[in-house]
Amino acid sequence: MEQLLSPKQVAEAIGASESSLKRWCDQGLIQTVKTAGGHRRIPVQEALRFAREQNHAVVEPRILSMPASEDRKARRVEGCAERLVEALLTDNDAAAHAIVFDLFLAGQPVSLVFDEVIAVAFRTIGEKWDSHEVDVYQERCSCQIALRVLHELRSKLVSPERELVALGATIEGDQYSLPITMSEMVLRSVGWDARSLGSSIPFDSMINAVKRHEPGLFWLSVSFIPDESAFISGFNRLFEAASKINTAVVVGGRALTTEIRTRLRYSAFCDTMRHLEEFAKTLRRQTEAVPKKARKPRKNA
């Protein structure tokens, strides 16, 4: 159930006066809901959105059900990837949460935190695994912690609009769950009702999901390709089915070499989560500007 806070609690959380808080509510800067007794209440996700967008430092994160801060001054991405590696490899769940949520509370876009902190940390862990400095179990454990952080983050984002549906998956044989979950979070952070179908999904099943749900956007995260030619033909079938119902297909991931990309048809290729964010924002604006019936089939980019 949605957690609701009083204006007084939100004021305390961000170190503002209760009267300022009420004024911001009256001005519509903060969306409120009314209790049966007619009192204003603020969903915790809305309080977080306001604090992030208006640059209010959260002085009492616990009121907003956020983990205690690691170090209030450490709100820039610099140095965070190294600290995250240390937290992940020592199985320090609390520190890993705090590093990511401090950046989130400081208003850093989730896409930036993913590209410059979490992905960088995993690159280091991958190198350490390759040179036997890190055991297999530590790599797996690090993934589990990162997934818990991402799921927690999902619950802190304002619920997206229902009509902007996005679906995503990884192909059969691709077990990488972090990039697909990050993509889901990035899309949700910019208003898409994004749902990951999960990893290792056969193309036929993805096509069924696209036909059934008619999403505005389908993202495919490709970190591992077991069979290149099967991938290319499956992917192009997916694109074909998606373009018939005007679904944009976005691809990204470490396994997509230039050679493979040139043989694919897609609406957008993204190297990073920030690229995905920008594309999703643009597509959202275009989708909202054009009445559904008047929309033309999208062209390959």
Binding site for ligand B12 (CB under 6 A): 114-115, 119, 122-123, 125-127, 129-130, 139, 143, 173-179, 182-183, 219, 221, 223-224, 250, 252-254, 270, 272-273, 276
Torsion angles phi and psi, residue 26, rounded to 5? -60, -35
Pick from 119, 164, 161, 75: nearest CA to 275: 119
User: Strand 33-34 and strand 40-43: pairing?
Assistant: antiparallel
Q: Which residue has the tokens 């503002």?
A: 16
Residue nearer to ligand B12 on the CB measure, 87 or 178: 178
Residue nearer to ligand B12 on the CB measure, 56 or 284: 284
Supply the minimum distance, in Å, between the C-beta of residue 182 and ligand B12: 5
Residue nearer to ligand B12 on the CB measure, 111 or 243: 111
In the chain, what is the straight-line distance between the N-terminal and C-terminal CA atoms, in Å? 41
CA distance 111 to 296: 30
Supply the minimum distance, in Å, between the C-beta of residue 60 and ligand B12: 31
Residue nearer to ligand B12 on the CB measure, 122 or 231: 122
Supply the minimum distance, in Å, between the C-beta of residue 114 and ligand B12: 5
Supply the minimum distance, in Å, between the C-beta of residue 300 and ligand B12: 17
Supply the minimum distance, in Å, between the C-beta of residue 209 and ligand B12: 16
Do the beta carbons of residue 78 and residue 103 sit within 8 Å? no
- In sequence order, the β-bridge partners of residue 195 are 167
Residue nearer to ligand B12 on the CB measure, 51 or 280: 280
Give the neighbor-by-neighbor strand order of the sheet with 248-252.
193-201, 165-171, 217-221, 248-252, 268-270
Supply the minimum distance, in Å, between the C-beta of residue 4 and ligand B12: 33
Supply the minimum distance, in Å, between the C-beta of residue 57 and ligand B12: 27
Contacts of 232 (CB under 8 A, 6+ apart): 260, 263, 264
Residue nearer to ligand B12 on the CB measure, 64 or 165: 165
CA distance 153 to 245: 31
Do the beta carbons of residue 84 and residue 116 sit within 8 Å? no
Residue nearer to ligand B12 on the CB measure, 32 or 177: 177
